[in-house]
Structure 1
Amino acid sequence: MTLKVPVATLRIFESAARWQSFHAAAQELGLTPSAISHAMKRMEDSLGIVLFEREGRSLRLTASGETLKLHASRAFEEMRLGLDMVSARKSHLLRLHSAPSFAANWLTPRLAGFLALHPEIEVRLSAGVDYARFDTDEFDADIVYGPPRQKGLDVTPLCEEAVTPLCSPKLAEHIHSVEDLLRHPLIQSEFKQIRWPQWLEANGAANAHVPLGSRFDRSFLALIAAANGLGVALESTLLAQADLAAGRLVEPLKDRNKPLTYIGHYFVCPRGQRPRAPLRLFRTWLLAELAVGGPSMDG
């Protein structure tokens, strides 16, 4: 079936439907409200349906308009994504995805160092708890929390992380033992591989009553809460490096407890294709910053 409506007119419709305003659509598209209105009237005449209900200056989509808006919005989003993917293939663009706390607390503060070494590379960084969708070609690599569950990936474990109690300097003045620790709220971090029961068992307090504190679903939020005196967080010193260095957080039982260690984060990218130069350079830099080795990606 031949499309009765030009793509340019569909673009006008999508904008007007999204804003539900001819004036706002005109501003977005660089047209006049009159041009928008006339284009929509011609479109309605061509399709033989009413898309907008006009009441004075107010505008409302009809049921047909809502249906068309849904599909038109999807179509233009797919085109935008396709254009982004094509443009992203330029040789010096690096598209990274990362677990949120690693991105916020460790990676982003250090990106300036990488870019100083490689000013020709443009980095696009996204953060989220969902794994990167490599099948859609949106990202070159992902830094994930926990062992990756996806198949078809090259996986590099990153450095070993130490998990230990962390709190504000003021609160630390009152904590000299595990018994002291249990007199203060213990901040809960959901979705963590190591949590308070494991640490308490390793430190001889398996059956102790735990004074549960606030609960957070991201490590960076738990660290912010601890730095602001809400209690004691059980978190990775890797993610807390900046706060520890600045004195916002301290280890109240440093050298008086048994930290638990584990591999928390993994660098992953699609298997079976030669990584582009920006990805190889970034991986080499990342491993050097974390002071770990790894197999070469040059082969």
Structure 2
Amino acid sequence: MTRSFPIPLNALRAIEAVARLGRLAAAAEALGVTPGAVSQHIRRAEERTGTLLFERTAHGLAPTGELMAILPALQTGFDALEQASARLIADEGHVLTVTLGHVSASRWLVWRLARFNARHPEIEVRLLPTDQLVDLARPDIDCGIRFGKGNWPGVEALALARAEVFPVCAPALAARLHQPSDLSNVPVIRDQMTMLSWPQWLAAAGVPDLSLSGPVYTDPALSFDAATSGQGVLLAVGIMADYALDNGQLVRPFRQSVVPDNGYWFATAAGRQLPARTRKFRDWLLDEMGSHSLE
């Protein structure tokens, strides 16, 4: 259906601004036009309607009774337009909210965000670290970084990185490890929330029946902290351990690794049109994780 305005929208804006501000000059400044343009809009609207809209007074232009009768509806309409345009700006705004796991946040993303900020200083990234699956359709969530098989219902998932998995530990503890069977003689950190499999790695290392024991954690981020502090050997995803490995906080005591079906994915609500800030973050993630890309 085609919308028809008996009075052009720009003229209605001029009428509302003059009624609100009382003077042509003030209305013109608010609208970013000349006083002559505002006066012309009003004159043409009066000619089209056959109605006097303003009266000149000692204090400026005052709305006539006819204009006062419709002014509340006019102002309500412009308030609604202002709110709608503000929502559009918010949709294409500068704040990007990302949900991701605690380990992904603390062991990977926070160490690299400076590079994203340097590339896109206009975007403010807000992290929502949680080990729960957040509803990506929420209006306050732009996207997520998820670990798994990429088959979540109602989610569009783009592959980011493969999950090469191997043991890591503090350097002092690594001195006691010469072959995989030595794991039975040192503490092994068991993370009850992990999706990684010690049996799978032990089988690949040739010691499938090895008995392991050590501290138990229910928070993946705390498991990483425990490994860094020397409490035991942790089975970790390589991309999440990269920073600690590069800085000597952790080492790989063995070269064996496995690549499970799980990987890292860029996740958004299915069917959602991505604003520019989300697309920029997605493209940056693909660049950052390029060396670990899924095959």
TM-score tier by shorter-chain length is 0.5 to 0.7
Task: State the partner residue of 1:4.
Answer: none
| Matched letter for residue 167 of structure 2 | P
What whole-Å deviation, never above 9, does each CA across 1:14-46 have from its counterpart, x for those lacking one? xxxxxxxxxxxxxxxxxxxxxxxxxxxxxxxxx
Matched ranges for 1:1-299 at <5 A: 88-148=90-150, 150-210=152-212, 212-254=213-255, 258-262=256-260, 263-291=262-290
Partner of 1:36: none
Q: What secondary structure, in the 3-state scheme, does the structure 2 residue paired with 1:252 have?
A: coil
CA contact (8 A) 1:98 1:126 kept: yes
Give the 3-state SS of the residue equivalent to 1:250 in structure 2.
coil
1:55-99 deviation per Cα after TM superposition (whole angstroms, max 9, x unaligned): xxxxxxxxxxxxxxxxxxxxxxxxxxxxxx958535222111111
Percentage of identical aligned residues: 33
Looking at structure 1, the residues matched to 229 and 126 of structure 2 have their Cα atoms a distance apart, in angstroms, of 31
Q: Compute the RMSD of aligned alpha carbons.
A: 2.1
Q: Measure the CA separation in 2 of the matches of 1:223 and 1:127.
A: 15
Residues 191 and 275 (structure 1), Cα distance of their counterparts in 2 relative to 1, 3 Å cut:
same
Q: Equivalents in 1 of 2:198, 2:154: separation in Å? A: 34
Q: Does the aligned pair in 2 maintain the 1:165–1:251 contact within 8 Å? A: yes
1: CA distance between counterparts of 2:132 and 2:91? 23
CA contact (8 A) 2:150 2:159 kept: no
Does the Cα contact within 8 Å between 1:101 and 1:219 map onto a contact in 2?
yes
Q: What is the letter of the counterpart of residue 238 of structure 1?
A: I
Give 1:192 deviation, angstroms: 2.1
How much has 1:218 moved relative to structure 2? 3.0
- Residue identity in the other structure for 1:239: M
The 2-side partners of 1:277 and 1:119 are apart by 14
Amino acid in structure 1 at the alignment position of 2:258: L
Partner AA of 1:100 in structure 2: H
Q: Which amino acid aligns with 1:266?
A: W
User: How far did residue 187 of structure 1 move?
Assistant: 0.6
Contact 2:165 2:235 in 1 (8 A): yes
The separation in 2 between residues aligned to 1:103 and 1:228, in whole angstroms, is: 19
Which whole-Å deviations, capped at 9, do the CAs of 1:79-130 have from their partners, x for residues lacking one? xxxxxx9585352221111111101110111111101101111111111112
How many angstroms apart in 2 are the aligned matches of 1:134 and 1:160? Answer: 22
The whole-number CA distance in structure 1 between the counterparts of 2:195 and 2:138 is 29
Aligned residues: 206
Per-residue deviation at 1:167?
0.8
Unaligned runs of 5+ in 1: 1-84, 295-299
Aligned partner letter, 1:251: R
TM-score, length-scaled by structure 2: 0.65
Post-superposition Cα deviations, 1:150-170, rounded to whole Å, max 9, x if no partner, equal: 422211122112111111111
Return the TM-score normalized by structure 1: 0.64
Report the Cα distance in structure 1 between the residues aligned to 2:200 and 2:91, rounded to whole angstroms.
Answer: 45
**Post-superposition CA distance 1:119-152 (Å, at most 9, x none):** 1111111111122223331201011222356422
Over alpha carbons, which structure has the higher Rg? 2
* Matches of 1:245 and 1:121, distance apart in 2: 28
Q: Structure 2, unaligned stretches of length 5 or more?
A: 1-85
1:270, CA displacement in angstroms?
1.7
Alpha-carbon deviations, 1:215-243, whole Å to 9, x = none?
12233222211121111111112111111
What displacement does 1:172 show? 0.9
Q: Verify the 8 A CA contact 2:190 2:215 in the aligned structure 1.
A: yes
